[in-house]
Amino acid sequence: RMPASLPEADRRHRASAAFSLSFLSLVFSITAFSSSYWCEGTRKVAKPFCTGESKGDLCIRFNSPDANSSQAVQYIWETGDDKFVERKFHAGIWYSCEEMINEEGEKCRSFIGLTPASDRGVLWLSIVAELLYVILLLTGNILMSVEMCYYSSVIDGLKINAFSAVVTVLAGLLGMVAHMMYTTVFQMTVNLGPEDWRPHTWDYGWSYCLAWASFACCMAAAVTTINKYTKTMLEFKHKRKKLERSLKIKYKFPDH
């Protein structure tokens, strides 16, 4: 009895492992898709003129004692890099935000509007692929949960298992294509985007890493599901051969 239950327990463990990886992939993908930290960096921005009582290194000072007088000649002391200040920014699929000078908070604008017109189509394809990626991951999760709770027939479970494996593999391929398309679009926007947005330095952020972690979990779930399906099929073939062999022996030597 014990050896017969071992394959069933192994199948349950594999099914729960595949579901856990797929669910983790879904959570990561939704978090990354909705955030704006795919890329982070700094922008060099010209300092504004100091007004009123504002002082410090974030604005340009004048040598005139009466800066508000229209007749006063104003000389800027800062030269070269002293005329600029670095502002942090972060961008995602939907919008890009950067910190404001001399004020708290951030100013955000649509990343789709910043993308060059020639690359906007690729960005929309990336967005559609990301949405399909999330939908397919959700479908795979539902199928895997149904398979785990469906105990009446192993054959039906195998059919659901095969379908969930196909859906998860398709999701992984779509996710990979979507992430790569966004990477290309962002690099083109850095080179050809608006002058008042182009970053001075930038690197990929935690959302970008999370998106690729989601892809890795998705492919791991697909491999686990396919492995479970293959192993179950081999077990069935082995049992069938044993049954055929025993039937042949019974036919040759009938029990009188």
Spans of all domains in the chain: 9-50+82-234
Question: Strands 84-91 and 201-204: what pairing?
Answer: unpaired
Strands (E), the chain: 39-46, 84-91, 95-99, 106-110, 201-204
Question: What length is written for the chain?
Answer: 256
For residue 36, which amino acid is it? S
pLDDT of residue 2: 36
Residue with tokens 């051969």: 241
Q: Is the pLDDT of residue 228 over 90?
A: no
Mean pLDDT of the chain, nearest integer: 79
pLDDT in tens, 6-47: 566 766 787 888 889 999 999 999 999 999 899 998 887 666
From CA 25, how far away is CA 130, in angstroms rounded? Answer: 13
On whether the CB atoms of residues 207 and 36 are closer than 8 A, the answer is yes
For residues 173 and 73, the model is more confident at 173
* CATH, domain range 9-50+82-234: 1.20.140.150
DSSP state of 47: P
pLDDT of residue 73: 44
From CA 180, how far away is CA 185, in angstroms rounded? Answer: 9
Task: Kindly report which listed range (88-92, 132-136, 250-254) carries the lowest average pLDDT score.
Answer: 250-254
- Give the residue from 155, 157, 131, 132 showing the smallest Cα distance to 144: 157
Structure tokens at 134: 């999330």
What separation in angstroms does the CA of 185 have from each of 117, 175, 178? Answer: 11, 15, 11
